[in-house]
Amino acid sequence: MEVERVQNIANLSKETIPEEFIRTTNEQPGLTTVQGTVLEVPVIDLSDRDENKVLQAVTDASRNWGMFQVVNHGIPDEIIRKLQEVGKAFFELPQEEKEVYAKPHGSQSLEGYGTKLQKEVEGKKAWVDHLFHKIWPPPEINYQFWPKTPPSYREANEEYTKHIHGVADKLFKYLSLGLGLEGNEMKEAVGGEKLIYLLKINYYPPCPRPDLALGVPAHTDMSSFTILVPNEVQGLQACRDDRWYDVKYIPNALIIHIGDQVEIVSNGKYKSVLHRSIVNKEQTRISWPVFMEPPPDLEVGPHPKLINEANPPRFKTKKYSEYCYCKLNKIPQ
């Protein structure tokens, strides 16, 4: 079954875009973005020796924003540059070479090269192609979905994976301590050492009508949290007080999104962030989120230590795979 890729549609679209990419008026960025105001989301220096200061900053940002940027995170700029280089090179391959890695038809996994991700209201489409594959732990990796071209793709991704562990573990520790839990309890609640790191590359080609289309529609991430590397093209928006604002990237920072599973484990003390991606008229935007996901069969719910008479559970406990199925198919949780 031939799937139409957005990259190919973009090459044919000079002034207009196909009807299925035109969002409803309550979604169109041209009508719904607060102009002239950029959200200054919290920026946290992970190298600060004052651990209490970092703990407070992560806790406050996770409660009040659900999103923050981290700097001095310990991942060398060169490692990030190589990750970006090989990801961009994959999407610049001839179409038939990319299709080798296409998500198999009928697959229950997200892994592979693709275009459509979730059931969209009113059949609308997002202006993005993507590649998903797991990068950790080793038994979960399926190299079938790792591009063999460029040849340095695997090495660049493995090097990035080595360095991302430190950032993830620090964040899990602070998120845990910020709730009054032991330092390891948040990570344990979402899978511990069996936690799955799922990489996605979002490729948003230039779009002649960025005022009408969305790269990714409004959503919260299903994961525990997400560590995202952007390219230099701005395009992330966050919802604050029911209004949409541009989020300004800091060069060499990592963007952290609190996801649904951390909100659930915290029983709502931390907030998963509602965000979306817009597109650019002249430039290609690319991002590399890594979703920190519980194993599919793990049951995730509010942490028992956070539940009492005054704080009853605000979320159901359910298998992560079931949670994802409901969310992607727009079934109430």
Catalytic residue positions, numbered: 200, 219, 221, 275
Torsion angle in degrees (nearest 10) through CA of 315, 316, 322, 328: -30
Q: 101 with 145: CB under 8 angstroms?
A: yes
Torsion angle in degrees (nearest 10) through CA of 323, 328, 330, 331: -30
Strands (E) in the chain, as ranges, are 33-39, 43-45, 67-71, 112-114, 129-136, 196-204, 216-219, 225-230, 236-240, 243-247, 254-258, 275-277, 285-293, 299-300, 318-319
DSSP 21-76: GS--TTT-HHHHEEEEEEE---EEETT-S-HHHHHHHHHHHHHHTSEEEEES-S--
CA distance 195 to 172: 12
Q: Which is nearest to 18 in space by CA: 206, 212, 203?
A: 212
126-142 exposure pattern, b = at least 16 Cβ within 10 A, e = fewer: bbbbbbbbbbbeeebbe
CA distance 319 to 13: 42
